[in-house]
Amino acid sequence: MDLKTGIEYIESLKRLNPTVYAYGEKIDDVTESVHLAPHVNAASLTYELAHRPDYEDLMTTTSHLTGKKINRFTHIHQSTDDLIKKVKMLRMIAQQTGSCFQRCVGFDGINAVYSTTYEMDQELGTDYHQRFTDYLKYIQENDYMVAGSMTDTKGDRGKKPHQQEDPDQYVHVVERNEKGVVLRGAKAHQTGMVNSHEMLIMPTVALGEEDKDYAIACAIPVDAEGVVHIFGRQTNDSRRLEGVIDQGNIQYGIVGGESLTILDNVFVPWERVFMCGEAQFAGMMVERFACYHRQNYGGCKGGVSDVITGATAQMAEYNGVAKASHVKDKITEMIHLTETLYGGSIACSADGHKTASGGYLVNPLLANVVKQNVTRLIYEICRLSHDVAGGFIGTLPSERDFNNEDTAAYLEKYFRGSCKYTTEERVRMARLVENMTGGTALAESMHGAGSPQAQRVMILRQGNLQHKTALARKLAGIDKK
């Protein structure tokens, strides 16, 4: 099969029949829902860009399994150049969507599972890697979108999976038979799940032997029997029902269309199971996925920050203050912070290394530093944007008031900035700034790919403090060798 176009991707979703609920109603066709349309549009662009000659080098590559041309989102990294191109691709797409395009989690999942299953088989004599390789060929051949499913609901965070009063707070195996396994539980914050073709289940934490029923990695169609998706709310989402301008990012929405995905006694055949009880390898899979996913953020959030910076500079023009030195300095700082994020992602990619499977992994320490920076610098970028744009981004009347003949003239008059521009231009840009720097986007920057504390744990673990101590002891004359 050839690479899908954006239209072919949307048509392929119409052939699926997932059980999706949103805003108290069952959604029969995810491509027709006003609430889901922006997320479908953003994912569709990842298919469409693969057909544009100027983006071919970033968006496509050659499968090391089949030798065929594939979308990069289905690829196993074969070099540090692949890792770098991934970051450049994510920034480019984010610049065009100003939003999440949802394919990164599955991309990172297939790379983590690929290398972990190889090492699992080498040590245990299992055949998980061959199963996964066969599955990956299927994904590449059909150009499918895979939702990475790692985050469990976790229940009491102070207890391990097997200690939970409700065992379903972590996805676990409830039955094994000659044909496969049966799963129960739920996965939370599932980016792009409702408009994906497949979901790749992975453990969410390192596990001990007592938690082996939770050591499960497998692939499930999003419309499999027993799978239920409940779509989450986002900042200002009801505006999609009210007008156009108030939406801000009209075509692509806010973040990634996250859902809670329930697995209610879902059967998975053995050929789609890539880990089942090997608890000692859960930590490896989790950490490798986390490193790949944290690598992304300087790319995708760098691209989003490019748009925020551009919108802020435009707001300065509309407000008539673009030439003020303090405004120029704030715009400069926004650029500096954005490139700091991007530079970290490039660095952890360039310093990546080959795993036993042949796939490449990023530098774990630098990848975690990237994500830790995102949890802070994005907030500063947004603060500066608010500073320059002005307080009216938080108090603008509804688009309906701009269209009401009793109030339109007043709003047209009093929300005008520089006479070089129309009131509507200023309002449209203000709504974009509000949309991109509001609650849901910031929460995702903070907690996506793990909370800030998760990165700090990894930074300390990967920081080689013993080596640093030895350097100091030698210079101080304490250690003579």
pLDDT in the model for residue 458: 77
Catalytic residue among 170, 214, 297, 342, which? Answer: 297
The two beta strands, 216-221 and 273-276, are antiparallel
Mean pLDDT computed over 300-307: 94
Given 198, 278, 434, 444, which residue is catalytic?
Answer: 444
> Domain range for residue 324?
284-472
* Residue 446 confidence (pLDDT): 64
For residue 465, being part of any structural domain is answered with yes
Among candidate residues 379, 369, 380, the one with its CA nearest the CA of residue 456: 369
**d(C-alpha 208, C-alpha 214), whole Å:** 10
Least confident of 247-251, 297-301, 306-310, 369-373: 247-251
DSSP string, 316-369: HHHHT-TT-HHHHHHHHHHHHHHHHHHHHHHHHHHT-EE-TTS-EE--HHHHHH
C-alpha–C-alpha distance, residues 35 and 257, integer Å = 9
Average pLDDT, the chain: 93
Query: Catalytic pick from 191, 338, 375, 440?
Result: 191
Confidence of residue 474 (pLDDT cuts 50, 70, 90): confident
pLDDT of residue 171: 98
The letter for the amino acid at 174 is V
Q: How many domains does the chain have?
A: 1
218 in active site: no
Return the pLDDT at 447. Answer: 59
Is there a catalytic annotation at residue 422? Answer: no
Under a CB-based contact definition with an 8 Å cutoff, are residues 289 and 112 in contact? Answer: yes
Q: Tell me, what's the pLDDT at 463?
A: 79
Locus of tokens 């060929």: 137
Query: What sign does the CA torsion over 47, 52, 57, 60 have?
Result: positive
In the annotation, is 210 catalytic?
A: no
| Catalytic residue of the set 218, 291, 300, 348 | 300
Which runs of E-coded beta strand occur in 188-328?
A: 198-201, 216-221, 227-231, 259-269, 273-276
CATH number at residue 345: 1.20.140.10
Is the per-residue pLDDT at 138 higher than 80? yes
pLDDT at 68 over 80: yes
Residue 192 in any domain: the answer is: no
pTM attached to this predicted model: 0.91
Structure confidence at residue 248 as a pLDDT band (50, 70, 90): confident
Using alpha carbons, select from 444, 448, 325, 335 the residue that is nearest to residue 385: 335
Give the CA count within 13 Å in the CB-facing half-sphere of 304: 33
Which of 307, 227, 284 has the alpha carbon at shortest distance from 260? Answer: 227
First to last CA, the chain: 62
> Mind listing the pLDDT tens digit for each residue in 97-110?
999 999 999 999 99
What percentage of residues in the chain have a pLDDT greater than 70?
Answer: 96
Q: Are strands 227-231 and 216-221 parallel, antiparallel or unpaired?
A: unpaired
User: Binning pLDDT at 50, 70 and 90, where does residue 442 land?
Assistant: low
pLDDT at residue 246 greater than cutoff 90: no
pLDDT of 449 over the 70 cut: no
- Check: CB of residue 139 under 8 Å from CB of residue 71: no
The catalytically annotated residue of 35, 197, 258, 434 is 258
Q: Residue 459 — very low, low, confident or very high, per pLDDT cuts 50/70/90? A: confident
- In Å, what is the CA distance from 136 to each residue of 131, 147, 202, 479? 9, 13, 15, 52
Query: Cα–Cα distance between 62 and 78 in angstroms, integer?
Result: 10
Taking the CA of residue 312 as centre, how many other CA atoms within 13 Å lie in the half-sphere pointing to its CB? 26
Alpha carbon 18 to its chain centroid, in Å, reads: 21
- Structure-derived torsion over alpha carbons of residues 285, 289, 290, 292, reported in degrees to the nearest 10: 140
Based on the residue annotation, tell me whether 258 is a catalytic residue of this protein.
Answer: yes
Domain presence at residue 431 = yes
191 is in an annotated binding site: yes
Q: Decide if 143 is inside a domain.
A: no
Residue 114 domain-assigned? no
pLDDT band at 469 (very low <50, low <70, confident <90, very high): confident
> Is the residue at 206 inside a domain?
no
E strand residue ranges, 171-326? 172-176, 180-187, 198-201, 216-221, 227-231, 259-269, 273-276
Range with lowest mean pLDDT among 153-162, 232-241, 357-366, 439-448: 439-448
Model pLDDT for residues 9-52, shown as the tens digit of each residue? 999 999 999 999 999 999 999 999 998 999 999 999 999 999 99
Say what percent of the chain tops pLDDT 90. Answer: 81
Mean pLDDT of 327-348: 96
Catalytic residue among 77, 97, 104, 170: 104
Catalytic residue among 170, 293, 375, 399: 293
Residue 456 has a pLDDT of 79
300 catalytically annotated:
yes
pLDDT at 201 over 90: yes
How does residue 445 score in pLDDT terms, banded at 50, 70 and 90? low
- Please check whether residue 218 lies inside any domain of the structure: no
Q: Please give the average per-residue pLDDT across 102-124, as a whole number.
A: 97
Report pLDDT for 240.
80
- Residue 151 lies inside a defined structural domain of this protein: no
* Catalytic site includes residue 419: no
